[in-house]
Amino acid sequence: MATETLDFKAVSVTGITEYIQLLLEGDENLRNIWVIGEVSSARQHGSGCFFSLQEADGSATLNAVVWRSQLPKLSIVPKVGEQVVVLGQLKVYPKRGSYQLTTWQVLPAGDGLQALRYRQLRNRLASEGLFDADRKRPLPTLPACIAVVTSPQAAAWGDIQRTLTQRHPGLKVLLSPAIVQGEQAPRSIVQAIERAGADGQADVLLLGRGGGAVEDLVCFDDERVVRAIATCPIPVITGIGHERDESLADLVADVCAHTPTAAAEQIVPALSTLRYTQVQLAQRLTQVTGTQLYQHKRELEQFYQRLQRLHPERHLEQIRQTHQWRTQRLIKALHHRLKTVKHHHQLLTEKLTTLDPAAVLRRGYALVREESGDVVNQASHLNVGDHISVQLGQGQITAEVLGITEKPSV
């Protein structure tokens, strides 16, 4: 089948790129232009400083570069979050099909809106105590199951798996997949954290993502993500970006390891390390136990020698003899005391018998009482005709006074 002849002329990639380059670099307005924007990323390189400018609302981004020879002439070096005014020329790079602003000067233009919002959110969350050290939980010493929140397509997931397998083969690892870049990332990360917490199998959660531009990591500064970490029922360790990166997620996490690999290394001890520690502890235990046994043996020998010097049998015999002697003395003293008490009791009994009124009456005496019951001891207390009662040794009689004879006392 014959190839149909095209009725139009196609332009090569080089041709269209050169045309665009001619338009942009030939435009007088773009040869010496001031651009204002917020520095969203900045990276130092051997050839210079590569950075990006973006609108406050993130609707547009412009790549820029300051070559190494121009860096000493800058008023300020671009820093992430700063609002700057940049002087430069727009250049096209055909091999990449991209353009960037070759920068000659950078001037400050105040804080960027994104940086301002970041500081406001950070201060508000800090005032709530979400970043306080006393609320951070320790990681489990030897977790049986680990939940990982990251993108299954990301290199970080492979790094985490590889590190955990090398350090602790057979460890149970659960992936709770999430989008870790873009507008949908915050909501996806929150759902992944909540899913791992509700599952109830994991002892600790690892939130990880590899490095990237600052604008790629903004999802970890989202308030929803921060609060999801704070309310997670299990301890959370973060491994996000590179060593130089620090997000609000890192601040609220129980432990921050900065990189996914470092987080995986910190979350579980290596089996080789555990074995070495076990051997060290066993050796230490053997040494301490041997030392204590030796010390106790020496003390036991010293006690035995002291016991031999004290002659406990002789001491017990002396105590036994002393006890017998004291017992005999006590018995003798009790017998003497009992004899004395019996004699005293006999004397009291005889005296009581002598003083007993009934005994007096039995010897022929009588006890006279008036009708009122009062004892009569003088005849003058009675009158003729009074009735009296006379108590004898045996029995009692009632009589009437017929006469009274008073006899003066001798």
Q: pLDDT for 348-358, tens place per residue?
A: 888 887 777 77
Q: Mean pLDDT over residues 250-259, rounded?
A: 92
pLDDT value at residue 1: 45
Instruction: Give the mean model confidence (pLDDT) for residues 147-162.
Output: 93
Between residues 349 and 163, which one has the greater pLDDT? Answer: 163
Across residues 357-382, what is the average pLDDT? 79
Confidence of residue 53 (pLDDT cuts 50, 70, 90): very high
| 73 or 371, which is more confident | 73
Write the pLDDT tens digit of every residue in 71-129.
999 988 998 888 899 999 999 999 888 999 999 999 888 655 567 678 889 999 999 99
Using an 8 Å Cβ cutoff, are 210 and 228 in contact? no
Predicted pLDDT of residue 7: 62
Q: For the chain, list the domains and their CATH numbers.
A: 13-117 (2.40.50.140), 143-268 (3.40.50.2300), 361-400 (no CATH)
pLDDT of residue 315: 77
In angstroms, what CA-CA distances link 158 with 165, 259, 269? 11, 13, 19
Contact indicator for 49, 69 with CB cutoff of 8 Å: no
Is a pLDDT exceeding 70 seen at residue 287?
A: yes
Between 3 and 345, name the one with better pLDDT: 345
Q: Give me the pLDDT at residue 390, please.
A: 84
Q: Is the pLDDT of residue 228 over 80?
A: yes
SS (H, E, C) the chain: CCCCCCCCCCCCHHHHHHHHHHHHHHCHHHCCEEEEEEEEEEEEECCEEEEEEECCCCCCEEEEEEEHHHHHHCCCCCCCCEEEEEEEEEEEECCCCEEEEEEEEEEEEEECHHHHHHHHHHHHHHHCCCCCHHHCCCCCCCCCEEEEEECCCCHHHHHHHHHHHHHCCCCEEEEEECCCCCCCHHHHHHHHHHHHHHHCCCCEEEEEECCCCHHHCHHHHCHHHHHHHHCCCCCEEEEECCCCCCCHHHHHCCEECCCHHHHHHHHCCCHHHHHHHHHHHHHHHHHHHHHHHHHHHHHHHHHHHHHHHHCHHHHHHHHHHHHHHHHHHHHHHHHHHHHHHHHHHHHHHHHHHHCCHHHHHHCCCCEEEECCCCECCCHHHCCCCCEEEEECCCCEEEEECCCCCCCCCC
Closest CA to 173 of 199, 196, 147: 147
Ranges 112-121, 245-254, 290-299, 393-402: which has the least confidence: 112-121
pLDDT of residue 372: 83
pLDDT (0 to 100) of residue 275: 76
Span 246-271, mean pLDDT? 89
Report pLDDT for 110: 66
Higher pLDDT, residue 230 or 3: 230
What is the pLDDT, as a whole number, of residue 147?
95
**Mean pLDDT in residue range 59-82:** 91
Q: What is the pTM of this model?
A: 0.49
Q: Does residue 164 contact residue 264 with C-beta atoms inside 8 Å?
A: yes
pLDDT at 113 (0 to 100): 59
pLDDT at 4: 55
Residue 190 contacts by C-beta under 8 Å, 6 or more apart in sequence? 224, 225, 228
90-121 in b/e form (b: 16+ CB < 10 A) is: bbbeeeeeebbbebebbeeeeebebbeebeee
* pLDDT given at position 2: 47
Q: What value does the mean pLDDT take over residues 145-158?
A: 93
pLDDT digits (tens, 9 = 90+) for 180-226: 988 899 999 999 999 999 999 999 999 999 877 777 788 999 999 99
The mean pLDDT of 268-291, rounded to a whole number, is: 82
- pLDDT for 65 equals 95
First to last CA, the chain: 189
